[in-house]
Amino acid sequence: MTTYHSLEVEGLNVFYREAGNPNNPVILLLHGFPSASHMFRELIPILEKDYYLIAPDYPGFGNTSSPDREDFQYTFDHITEIIETFIDKLGLAKYALYVFDYGAPIGFRIAMHHPERVTAIISQNGNIYREGLGEKWAAREDYWRYPTQEKRESYRAAFAPNTIKGQYVDGTKESQVSPDGYTLDIAYMSRLGNDEKQLDLIFDYQNNVKMYPEFQQYLREYQPPLLATWGKNDVSFIPAGAEAFKKDLPKAEIHLLDTGHFALETHAYEIGKQMLDFLKNNKRVE
């Protein structure tokens, strides 16, 4: 069964979900925007018999502390630093990484910093290639090049209730997506002061794109086993981002699923089965 914990990291309470036997191989589950570790609620039971699962919430997300911007720099580098310290405090020496959305730039930073620890990578709509950026990113890159307060304010739409719901249901068949996930995310995003923190991260995302060549170099150099399981109807991170892994990892396993961005909402069983088969076939994971 899943249990729920908090660990003190640099003055923050980092909330995390834990499941499985600590003696089993570890999978670190890294969530995306605008969500938290609850996005793994249906995947964890599929994997917990064979793996030890840890799923943290980032600072400013879910049930982890959300310090004021004056006291905490909301950048992907800083969030990675917190998660790396969290990993060290838990004593995780080897782990596979499940990366989704924001979890990809965080997870690939971790992998670059500690390549000897990473046994495998599962990328579920976790992009590190320009080919994977959908059409909406052109406007975002214009904002990064020529930032104005007006453009910053326009990105409040990213965490409006209808936008969050759309991230869940767009690209899926009617009536397949439970309202529980997006309703909870809407509540998380509407907390007082959270808007400015999220706007900081949207602006800082440009540094993730700048790091794509470094992430790709990590793949070429270390050749980690990689499974890309991708909602092919995602308009944010399009299927070309999944296929692009083959450029640097010829042995990468690619699956395109008939769903959207939050693929676990509709295909948790299929993704869990793919993971079990993939990890079983990669000796490095054990």
Report how far residue 180's alpha carbon sits from residue 166's, in angstroms, rounded to the nearest whole number. Answer: 14
Q: Is 261 annotated as catalytic? A: yes
Could you tell me how many residues make up the chain?
286
Residue with the two structure tokens 């917990």: 48
- Which tokens belong to 113? 């910093």
Distance CA 64, CA 183 (A): 18
Q: Which of 31, 38, 261, 267 is catalytic?
A: 261
- 209: closest CA among 94, 129, 279? 129
In angstroms, the CA 126 to CA 31 distance is 10
Query: What span, in angstroms and rounded, lies between the C-alpha atoms of 117 and 125?
Result: 22
The number of CA neighbours under 13 Å toward the Cβ of 22 is: 6
Burial group, residue 86, by CB count within 10 angstroms (0-12, 13-18, 19+):
buried
Rounded to whole angstroms, the Cα distance separating 12 from 57 reads 11
Tokens describing residue 131: 């080919």
Neighbours of 45 (CB within 10 A): 15
Give ∠ CA 234-177-138 in degrees, rounded to 5.
Answer: 20
CB 9 within 8 A of CB 82: yes
CB of 123 within 8 A of CB of 216? no
As annotated, the active-site residues are 261
